[in-house]
Amino acid sequence: MTVLYRLDAAALDVARSFGAQAGSDPWSGGYIAPGQFAPVITAGREAIAGPRPQHRAPRRLIPRLWGVPPPPSVLEERGILTVRNLESPFWIGNLRNSEFRCLAPATAFMAWSRASAVDGKRRQAWFGCTDQPVFAMAAVWKDSEIPSFALLACEANAALRAEGRETMPVILPPDPAAWALWLNGGWDRAQGLVAPYSSSLMEELRAR
């Protein structure tokens, strides 16, 4: 499970890359950890009630807390960071309604490595994409006590499995059509984007 990532780009530049409006988001770059606010890109319909409008609203880059409060039946105070079960009743309504899907831009994400055979310790393994310096991770947002979001997880690719990981964040290809499908498309097609990113398009970065 991803528990740390980075976005080393300013809000205005990120918004421009994904065709979104930056508004007054003050993000200037850095680490993003659980329980912290981070820029996400939405379809721009958070405040729109009623039937889907004929014309698409402008995409918006806005800050949301990483970690969705769990349902009351779960005796856990920490926020939920990732969506693993796409059929979960807690998530399915938000996933099927495209206005609740969002993009979490990043420049690198961290996964804990296998335990060292020498001292038994794990190290931070950082990964980036060779084909896109700023990439979008598929995410979903909820409004409960706080405006929050969670990343979608999928089966790990070969690079992550080599580090002993079973899952990885869902990274979207550098294709505006893929971003539009995640933000605006029907769930029957959008769920096809929930797949491991090619190891050949990823690189392990030096520890930060």
**In the 8-state DSSP scheme, what is residue 56?**
P
Does the residue 52 lie in any domain? Answer: no
Domain count, the chain: 1
Amino acid letter, 169: P
Range of the domain at 9: 5-46+58-205
The CATH number of the domain where 27 resides is what?
3.90.1680.10
Residue 208: predicted pLDDT: 57
| CA separation for the pair 128, 201 (Å, rounded) | 9
CB 18 within 8 A of CB 43: no
Residue 128: predicted pLDDT: 97
| CA separation for the pair 127, 130 (Å, rounded) | 10
Q: What is the mean pLDDT of residues 176-181?
A: 98
Percent over 70 (pLDDT), the chain: 93
Q: What is the mean pLDDT of residues 159-174?
A: 95
Q: What is the mean pLDDT of residues 147-175?
A: 96
Residue 5: predicted pLDDT: 98
pLDDT tens for each residue of 106-122:
999 999 887 776 787 88
pLDDT tens for each residue of 183-199:
999 999 999 999 999 99
Decide if pLDDT at 134 tops 60. Answer: yes
Residue with token string 């079973």: 166
Residue 48: predicted pLDDT: 52
Does the residue 103 lie in any domain? Answer: yes
| CA separation for the pair 83, 89 (Å, rounded) | 11
